[in-house]
Structure 1
Amino acid sequence: MSDFPLKRIAIYCRVSTDEQAKEGVSLEEQRTRLQAYCRAMGWTVEIVEFIDDGYSAKNLNRPALNSLLQQIKNGDIAKLMVTKLDRLSRRLLDLLQLIELFHQYSVSFISTSESFDTDTPSGRLTLQVLGAVAEFERERIRERVFDNMLHAAKTGKWLTQHPYGYRLDEKKLVIFEPEAEIVKRIFHMFVNEGLGYYSIAKKLNEEGIPSRQNKEWSLRSVKLMLANPVYIGTLAWNRIDSSKKKRESKDENEWIVIPNAHPAIIDQDTWDIVQERMNKPQVPSRAKTSPHILGGLLKCGKCGASMSIDWSGWPKRHRVYRCSAYKNKGTCDSKPYRADDVETWFKKGIMELIDSIDTTCHEVTIQKVQKENKEKIEQKMKHAKERYSRQVEAYTAGLIELNDLAKEKEKMEQSILEAQKRMETNDSSHAYSELETKLNTQEMTILESFAILPIEEAKARLRLIVDKVVLHGEENLELVIAI
């Protein structure tokens, strides 16, 4: 039951941030017009105001509007007034849903500028027609903006705020060396030191190196930088769908991708390694920062579950690695192993790793590398063809000229030719040579790092060559190489 003896008249006013500076749409102007209309109609019931200051009409998620709708559902509102239809919403679907709600609760909707009242059939018809026109005009504006931005993107012009590591010079990106050095360092820490997003952010913050606008680095800011193709000179536009309440990434087929649009800070090979590593399942932060060498790496040879540190013995306690399936579920009968023993076996295994690689292992490694390289090459060829198909559609729609289409075809053919050459050179000897070099150059570095580096950094380096360690029994460790 309503707390008020008479239903009230609601007036709703809204301005978006862009409209606040424009003449004729201010909140005060809307309020004055609506109150004058009520006086002219001789309405004497209480008038309650609902004001959304600085909110767009692209959706209905506005505080004052939400409060208004709640009062309508409570039965407190008899009429709702706005100066213009688009004050309430610019989307026809939202408008029709609201009108249905008003009708359900016997609330009439009045727009003073369009001169209609939804209490009448002609008013409801007019409202729907005006709503359709408003949405059509909005889509036309969006389409024109998209076309203009598409043209700018294709000419290599940067359309938004410059990214970290660059500055804008006549809408073109140029490298800003002080920040570019930090970008290179972040990629180096991720690729060559094996540090994760959190560890990189922590290290930069500890050194007092600011990110954009003198803010601190975060896990998210590091991750976004490592995934941003701008650093290899590629302009990738239309990646995010911001029309929805929650911003989502669009399908790659919808991206506008222009390689070599501006100077690159990171080379292509480093970029490829980073993207491949980012697409792998991430190791939990707790495992990375564990003070125990094999924390997050060691697996049970009986059931495959992770083995974590526990404590045993009394009164002199010592560390042990225990199967988590045994510890938490009782589903494995693996016994605990002294941590010092296991870590000693592991260090010995690292030293013997290269000598233990026999011919069979060579073949398995080679086949795996060849398969992964082939898949990458085929994916690049596919993307080149998809980009060209999008350009054909753009030419058909009159968005680009014939010479632009010809250039894109030339790029596609060049990409396919380079991919085919890489396919031909994807031989086994090269694959194994890379692996052997990798192991030889990092074997001693990793063992030495346990003595001189913080455990977090030492383990990060370890993960560069070891994917996991499987404990099968006394002095029986299986080291799975990270290829």
Structure 2
Amino acid sequence: MNNKIAIYLRLSLSDGDLKKGSKDESNSIENQRLLLHSYIEKQDDLPGEIVEYVDDGYTGTNFNRPAFQKMIIDLKQGEIKTIVVKDLSRLGRDYIGVGDYIEQIFPLMGVRFIAVNNAFDSMKLNNGTPGIEVAVSNLVNNLYSRDIGKKVRAALEVNWKSGKATSVNVPFGYVWNGKGNQRWAIDPEAAVCVRKVFDLALSGRNTTQIAYAMNELGLPTPGLYSKRKNTIVGGNAIIAPESEILWNPGIVWRVLRRYEYTGALVMGRRQKLDVNTTAFRTLPEDKWIITENTHEAIVTKDEYYQAQKAIRNVAPIQYKTEDDFALKGKICCGNCLRQLRHEKQYGEMVFCCGHKRSVGKFSHCYSGYYREQAVNSRVARAIKTVFTALEVVNQGMQEKKSITLQCVDVDDLKKQAEMIRAEQIKLYESYADGILTRNEYLEKKKGLGEKLADLQEKIRIEEEEQETADELDEEIRSLTEQASQKTYIGGLTKECVDAFVSMVYLYDDQTMKVEFNCEDVIRRALEKYGA
């Protein structure tokens, strides 16, 4: 168990010959595998089972790779004592992160690390610290990744300037033309909606009036259209019911701002901050790559600029950053399932459905306000019912402990099984000594075998039930401990909500649904111990 040798294999798209669109492993992965297996076979001091961890197509600029993370988990569980890679760049190209693993994490956990092509073996270090050549190699790998990042961006810009789109997201109103030349074609059904938005804007209507008209006509929003066509790419799945996926001023604004509808390709709106992060920044418009006349236009350039008048007076969105309250992130409209807004009305804090406010009569959401104090009080009472249920369960657990002697003793069953095994040995000895005939031996052997099988099945069932019961008891004990620590003196606290509440849904000023993140545990416990 503790002599496993992990060989870690990795290749990213920028590193070599990954076959795009293929489910087969890349040639480089197979070459790495052959090299490492050959190396291990030649080493006398590397005994043990070889276990492979393969990340094919994952970047080395960070450590968020599934196989690598699985290897680290196995390492922490003591299953791995040696890690072998082709070279340091396979472990990663973030020189600080790689250095941490080699100099601190692996030595601390007693793991030997070998990078074959770098001739690095942590077991053969003179002073226990990697030499300057390792640090230089890590730095070079990091700089290589940065250089690759620049080259990738440059290659993308070449495609953009030649009119080739590289984003998987196609603007509402277009589809990939299917000819393999990375260009878009008009989607007739969706283009009707886009054209209508611009026509309404050209008629002098503002974004609110346009949204009202689009809902009046029953035309689908971009999100609803993608959902019906099953073409949603990236982002969060739409959880609102279809009846509440409606046009609002924000959606209209985004459609009117898409210069792509003039037939131009607009790419490079965002740029990655660094090769070692997944964060992006939005670039100013003068940094975007705009290539004219790359696909068929839905509106003319003159119509596009004329339509911008509809959004001239739209105030920019003001994002709240310091608004914090007990139910933050956990309170939704029960009808449209969107997060409720938290704001002040008439001197007190309230919740309201922003979706209802933006689309008006077309939504069936509640149009009034929910007083925060009243909502918090009702949620607090709901949490109190959970505490009461925990008291019932704990009482049942205590009563069970008083009658544990009446339960089946697994150790006693195991002793019975050992006795039967001993009888089987004696039975064979009697047969070997000629005391029993063959038929007598086989008949008695069969009877003992059946008894042993029955006992083993009972042991298995009892152990599984005991394991499940132990897990359930531990979960209940943990919940009870949390309940004893969470109070809401002076009002409902965010700490208490986070510990027990999954989501709160408000339907009108009288109807509320509270979902608890411990409902399943309490239900199972009540079935086992409850009244």
Calculate the TM-score normalised by the size of structure 1. 0.48
Query: Larger C-alpha radius of gyration, 1 or 2?
Result: 2
TM normalised by structure 2 equals: 0.45
